[in-house]
Structure 1
Amino acid sequence: MQLPVEQFLEFDQQCTPLLQDAAIKVANAKQWQDKYRLLMQLGKLLPAVDDAAKTEAARVDGCESAAWLFHFPLGDLHLFLADSDARIVKGLIVLLLAATNGKTAEEIHAFDASAYFAELGLAGQLSPSRSNGLYALAAQIKRLAQ
């Protein structure tokens, strides 16, 4: 099952400005506990994805928690939606989508996830397995944005 295009467009129109704001809030949080609390709240920005769409084809390999990534090319731009069964991962997905959603393939391929998460003050704060999953998700976004 494919997600309906309307779900991508609605998410892009309603949430993209909130995603940008979310990344700024995480970057400005001084304590790890504050960042963690924000990440938990940010996951609520992701729309519910129908369980029928959570197929093996959409599943992101390399994530310890289950995560699914959905892609919709819109002209030269790429729209993404994602979901996970873990709240903290959903918050990290929101930050990743803030940096990549609605961008061109060129912009997405130039994106450096390691530098971005270091800028947000999250480098070294995440467990190795969570970091690996996050970078697997970023790599999958780049693969889809061909």
Structure 2
Amino acid sequence: MATAAFEEIAETFDFLDDWEDRYRHVIELGRAMPPMDEALCVPATKVEGCASQVWIMPRVENGIFDFQGESDAMIVRGLIAILHALYSGVPLGQVGQIDAQAELARLGLDEHLSSQRSNGLRAMVERIRLLSAAEQ
């Protein structure tokens, strides 16, 4: 149940054979992501459980989920961009139905991220799920 934006990322990852190329692509995705307003980087939007500083601010319009995200680490910004592709534009009631672990496994992230980054990624997914549930 992936979005078209996430499918595009998955296709690019299939094309990139080397993990170093994939890693660079994740960083490029983070660089291309619009920055989050610094005024939104507050304790209420901070994601706990990440080694880096991470903030996620949800937006729901007409029952469609979206969010802004920010991090002080470029690779993490890229992971936020991937999560944005996975969740943005999804009807609010379907956000919790997305199997993020399975979708992210398609990219090989589970095999190549450090345990700290993997834990942080899980914390971000959980935060997105909780934020969307709170909006329902």
> Into which bin does the TM-score normalised by the smaller protein fall?
0.7 to 0.9
TM-score w.r.t. length of structure 2: 0.88
* Number of aligned residue pairs: 131
The one-letter code matched in structure 1 to 2:79 is L
The one-letter code matched in structure 1 to 2:21 is D
State the alpha-carbon separation in 1 of the partners of residues 126 and 5 from structure 2. 23
Partner of 2:100: 113
TM-score w.r.t. length of structure 1: 0.82
- Gap regions ≥5 residues in structure 1: 1-15
Alpha-carbon distance, 1:17 to partner: 6.9
When structure 1 is superposed on structure 2, of 128-137 and 39-48 the one drifting more is: 39-48
- Gap regions ≥5 residues in structure 2: none
1:133 to 93, 97, 120: 120
- Gap change, CA 1:144 and 1:39, over 3 Å in 2: same
Are 1:36 and 2:23 matched, yes or no? yes
Alpha-carbon distance, 1:73 to partner: 1.0
Q: CA RMSD in A?
A: 1.8
When structure 1 is superposed on structure 2, of 111-120 and 130-139 the one drifting more is: 111-120
Conserved in 1, the CA contact under 8 Å of 2:50 and 2:117? Answer: yes
State the alpha-carbon separation in 1 of the partners of residues 10 and 49 from structure 2. 24
